Amino acid sequence: MAKHIMVTAQDRQRLADCLSVLQEFPDKLELPHIQYLEKEVQRAQVVLDPLALPADVITMRSRVKLANLDTGAELECVLVYPAERAPEEGRISVLAPLGAAMLGYRVGDVFEADLPKGPARFRVEAVVYQPESAGDYHL
């Protein structure tokens, strides 16, 4: 069984809104990582009080360090909403395979992402910045 993830109530609502927009693009809804994200958002533990969220959880707009366990490469990136994506700057959309896979995991957790080049396993090494723990609730 998959590990339970945590999301804030605000993130869950915004993600539900993003996913509902995809209803206009049925071919996108069939993508495995989109189906995975929909299921994860539905089953996630929703944290109502942002202050109660542990600082090591990947939330939207968190800056994280990941280790690719298959290649040994390290990656620092920010998990963002689709309109903010800029992969060349390390801003990964939550609707991309890696973004969908990392949401809600904690430092030390291992997750798998179905990347275009094939599946890859990642470990969360650090949450460098999390809006909730920084008091940036407006993001």
Give pLDDT tens digits along the chain (139 positions): 467 889 999 999 999 999 988 888 878 878 888 898 899 888 899 999 888 899 999 999 999 999 999 999 999 999 999 999 999 999 999 999 999 999 999 999 999 999 989 999 999 999 999 999 998 876 5
- 3-class DSSP state of 6: strand
**Domain span at residue 54?**
6-134
Q: Domain for residue 19, yes or no?
A: yes
Model pTM greater than 0.75?
Answer: yes
Domain of 57: which CATH number? 3.10.50.30
C-alpha–C-alpha distance, residues 68 and 38, integer Å: 24
Quote the Cα angle for 113-47-44, to 5°: 35
Q: Domain for residue 14, yes or no?
A: yes
Q: Domain for residue 139, yes or no?
A: no
Domain count for the chain, please give it.
Answer: 1
Residue 33's φ and ψ, nearest 5 degrees, are -70, -25
